Amino acid sequence: MNFASDNTTGASRAILAAVTAANAGQSAAYGKDDFSKKAARLLNEVFERECASFLVNTGTAANALALAAVAPPFGAIFCHADSHIMEDECGAPEMFTGGAKLIGIPGEAGKITRAGLVTALSRYPRGIEKQVQPAALSISQVTELGTVYSCGEVAALAEIAHEAGIKVHMDGARFANALASLQCRPAEMSWKAGIDVLSFGATKNGALGCEAVIFFDPATAANLPYLRKRSGHTLSKGRFLGAQMIAYLEKGHWLDLAKAANAHARALAEGLTKIPSVRMPWPCEANEIFAVLPCKMDSRLKAEGAVYYEWNFPERDAGCAPPGQDEIFVRLVTSFATRKTDIDRFLAVASSAGI
Ligand SMILES: *Cc1c(COP(=O)(O)O)cnc(C)c1O
């Protein structure tokens, strides 16, 4: 019953098999191989546009490189106060941009609102010599609190950003889960909604370690080959990244994986909703669930072998009462590899401890 994260599981069988198959024979190095070229073609097909895409090993590298391409060292990057780039990347965006400043915007359930963005932009007008200059907006889809921006919400934020003359980045570590949730086309959730550059995650959804930085206007990507190389993310055996991305995208494999992960989370959330002593501060919209549980239930679940993380309750931004003295706030994450039997057992233990 491991619900700690979607990266505690291994890779999907198809992707692992593709890596093994790519092992045979000789191949050009540093991303000039046929696998990487085919991956780029498939990304163009999936996004219905000629993109400039770059494969890297981690989501942190994808985010930091994407931001380095659009923000100068004296730039301001607007993001949610709890975002991964702000909290979980050890200063990589600041380092890769050469010193750009991240400006955190609070917002309910992990989302930046239009009003929040307008206020933040108003504090950093262009041309004030002693302040960082507005450079980019970065939003996460799925958000760090498991919620999903609608395409309309993305478009509304992007419009404000573009009016202010800044680029829009999407941290799509869970892009596939968001897409499966909204049931729209990749183009609609990205460039058609105003996204300029996307960190397109694959690792959490079944790859071994592969993410793409995708620029919808290739001109914006002019410096990326050099930025990637100097960051140590131009893999000499780049074919293995290409092979992962091909297997991920072909035959809709990525969407099948994400649909499975989301369905598991929905089943878990529906079961938890039926237990009166459990409350959830916002709905489960992809593959993550946040819930306040009685400590008694938490202990029983852990004694039975369940694994998950306690989470910081976002006081300002939640839609339910904070955990009381004998309660705990937790995050549960499902993946394509979650077993239905584990969900059933988790819910059985929780229900029996939850009256
Ligand atoms: C996991 C994650 C990333 C990428 O993290 P890495 O560990 O560097 O691969 C980026 N953004 C979000 C929102 C994530 O959850």
Q: 178 φ, ψ to 5°?
A: -65, -40
Give per-residue pLDDT as tens, 274-289. 999 999 999 999 999 9
For residue 211, how far is its CA from the centre of ligand 1 (angstroms)? Answer: 10
pLDDT exceeds 90 at position 319: no
Q: Environment class of residue 40 by beta-carbon count within 10 Å: exposed (0-12), middle (13-18) or buried (19+)?
A: buried
For residue 353, how far is its CA from the centre of ligand 1 (angstroms)? Answer: 33
Give per-residue pLDDT as tens, 72-118. 999 999 999 999 999 999 999 999 999 999 999 999 999 999 999 99
CA-to-CA separations, 17 to 36, 45, 146, 207, 247, in angstroms, rounded: 17, 23, 30, 11, 9
Using the atom order of ligand 1, give the atom closest to the CA of residue 63.
Answer: 10
Q: Say what the pLDDT of residue 321 is.
A: 86
Average pLDDT score over residue span 335-345: 97
**Using an 8 Å Cβ cutoff, are 67 and 100 in contact?**
yes
Question: Residue 211's beta-bridge partner residues?
Answer: 56, 201
Helix (H, G, I), strand (E, B) or coil at 125: coil
pLDDT exceeds 90 at position 204: yes
Average pLDDT score over residue span 329-342: 97
**Using an 8 Å Cβ cutoff, are 4 and 308 in contact?**
yes
Using the atom order of ligand 1, give the atom closest to the CA of residue 142.
Answer: 13
Alpha helices in the chain (DSSP H): 13-22, 34-47, 59-70, 84-87, 92-97, 114-123, 151-163, 175-182, 224-230, 239-249, 253-273, 295-303, 340-352
- Closest residue by Cα to residue 42 from 207, 191, 34: 34
Mean of the per-residue pLDDT values of the chain: 96
Tell me the Cα Rg of the chain: 21
Delineate the domains of the chain, giving CATH numbers in brackets: 13-253 (3.40.640.10), 258-353 (3.90.1150.10)
Cα(159)–Cα(322) distance, rounded to whole angstroms?
Answer: 34
pLDDT exceeds 90 at position 247: yes
For residues 354 and 133, the model is more confident at 133
Average pLDDT score over residue span 205-220: 97
Q: Which of 160-164, 298-302, 314-318 has the lowest mean pLDDT?
A: 314-318
- Closest residue by Cα to residue 77 from 137, 23, 126: 137
Average pLDDT score over residue span 304-310: 97
Give per-residue pLDDT as tens, 140-172. 999 999 999 999 999 999 999 999 999 999 999
3-state DSSP helix/strand/coil % of the chain, to nearest 5: 45, 15, 40
Cα(236)–Cα(32) distance, rounded to whole angstroms?
Answer: 9
Helix (H, G, I), strand (E, B) or coil at 282: coil
**CB under 8 Å to 119, separation ≥6 — which residues?**
105
Q: Say what the pLDDT of residue 245 is.
A: 98
For residue 59, how far is its CA from the centre of ligand 1 (angstroms)? Answer: 5
Choose one of 88, 144, 171 to mutate for the ligand 1 pocket test, by most ligand atoms within 8 angstroms of C-beta. Answer: 88
Ligand 1 first shell, C-beta below 6 A: 58-60, 63, 84, 140, 144, 171, 173, 203-204
Q: Is the dihedral of CA 240, 242, 244, 250 positive or negative?
A: negative
For residue 340, how far is its CA from the centre of ligand 1 (angstroms)? Answer: 25
> Can you tell me which residue has the tokens 């609609």?
188
Give per-residue pLDDT as tens, 45-82. 999 999 999 999 999 999 999 999 999 999 999 999 99
pLDDT exceeds 80 at position 354: no
**Using an 8 Å Cβ cutoff, are 330 and 269 in contact?**
no
- Closest residue by Cα to residue 233 from 96, 125, 137, 75: 96
Using the atom order of ligand 1, give the atom closest to the CA of residue 211.
Answer: 9
Which residue, by CA, sits nearest to atom 15 of ligand 1? 173
Q: Say what the pLDDT of residue 137 is.
A: 98
For residue 212, how far is its CA from the centre of ligand 1 (angstroms)? Answer: 12
Average pLDDT score over residue span 185-210: 98
Q: How confident is the model at residue 317 (pLDDT cuts 50, 70, 90)?
A: low
Q: Say what the pLDDT of residue 355 is.
A: 64
Helix (H, G, I), strand (E, B) or coil at 201: strand
CA-to-CA separations, 235 to 190, 209, 217, 242, 351, in angstroms, rounded: 27, 12, 24, 11, 48
**Global confidence as pTM:** 0.97
